Chain A
Amino acid sequence: MDNVERLFNEIVKDYSERVYWHVRRFVNSHEDADDLVQDIFLKIWTALPSFRGEAQLFTWIWRIATNETLNWLRREKVRAALRFSTIDAEMERRIDSDPFFDGDAADRALSKAVAKLPEKQRQVFILRYYDEVPYEEMSEILGTSVGALKASYHIAQEKVRASLGEFDGGD
């Protein structure tokens, strides 16, 4: 086993679970998350020989994961449009029919509110709220300033609160 393979196996051991949870929050389906995690680790394996160590390993892995997830989301949007549907409706359907969802009605409402956020805000919200990634690291992953990320997270929070308010009001 060479050094690259050894490093790859370390990455699998240390990061596969975290990458899975990150992706799962985005795609709202266990099967799709499983497929996407494999694609992400395939990309990591392919790109690993060119990893120079200029960025932190965590940042580098997360950058690949977020790019792959956004590409997936873009494909799903087109797929939904070809079915004369929208990605929001598709995500809502997934959350309602996910056999591995084990939260209460409020958790479900939160997942739906997050799924409705625009791409970038959703990314920031998931990285900060669920993955608990510090703003400085997020800034390296997404290539955006810390100030802009904080503003983006604040707006996302407000939107989620408004959606949850609608949920409370609706009951």
Chain B
Amino acid sequence: MTRKNDILTPEGYFENLQDRLSQIPARQQPVSTVRRIAPYFAYAASLLVAVMLGNAVLKKTAAPAQDDNWTYVSYLADALDPDGAALYEEDEWYEDGEQDLSEDDIINYLIADGISVEHLNYVNYEEGY
């Protein structure tokens, strides 16, 4: 154990720390622009191929006929609830993955937005926490 007055570190910690820190330059080697954007190109290309294939399949298979049952259901729903609010669950307001916010995302957002801790405490107090 290494100690500084009243606090300790695990045995051999500083040797280990120096080893890890010395590896930073190797881990952070500059990457060329072409290499950096190559995965995005690959992603865009595969997306384009998928869209073209899907479009071709749809053109061949899609029937022009309208689903009369669905038209009737839509008509009834509009008549009963013109705003359409009741048709949607809260989860459907979000796209997939939009709600997967981590605590760090929220914290970074609050800091970037300049919301102070005092304000958060005030809101907590107002809400009775």
> Which A residues fall within an 8 A CB radius of B?
4-5, 8-9, 12-13, 16-17, 20-21, 24, 30, 34, 37-38, 41-42, 45-46, 74-75, 77-82, 84, 86-87, 98, 100-104, 107-108, 111
A41–B24 CB distance below 8 A: yes
Interchain residue pairs with CB less than 8 A apart (25)? A4-B25, A8-B24, A8-B25, A12-B18, A12-B22, A13-B18, A16-B21, A17-B14, A17-B17, A20-B9, A21-B4, A24-B7, A30-B9, A42-B24, A42-B28, A74-B111, A75-B111, A79-B103, A82-B103, A82-B106, A100-B10, A102-B3, A102-B7, A102-B8, A107-B5
Residues from chain A with Cβ under 8 Å of B22 in the complex: 9, 12
What are the nearest 5 A-B pairs in CB distance?
A103-B6, A107-B6, A81-B120, A100-B8, A12-B21
Residues from chain B with Cβ under 8 Å of A81 in the complex: 117, 120-121, 124
A101–B6 CB distance below 8 A: yes
Majority SS at the chain B contact face = helix
B107 interface residue per 8 A CB criterion: yes
B129 interface residue per 8 A CB criterion: yes
> Which residue of A is nearest B4, CB measured?
A21
B52 interface residue per 8 A CB criterion: no
B51 interface residue per 8 A CB criterion: no
Per the 8 Å Cβ criterion, residues 7-34 of B in contact with A are 7-10, 14, 17-18, 20-22, 24-25, 28
Residues from chain A with Cβ under 8 Å of B47 in the complex: none
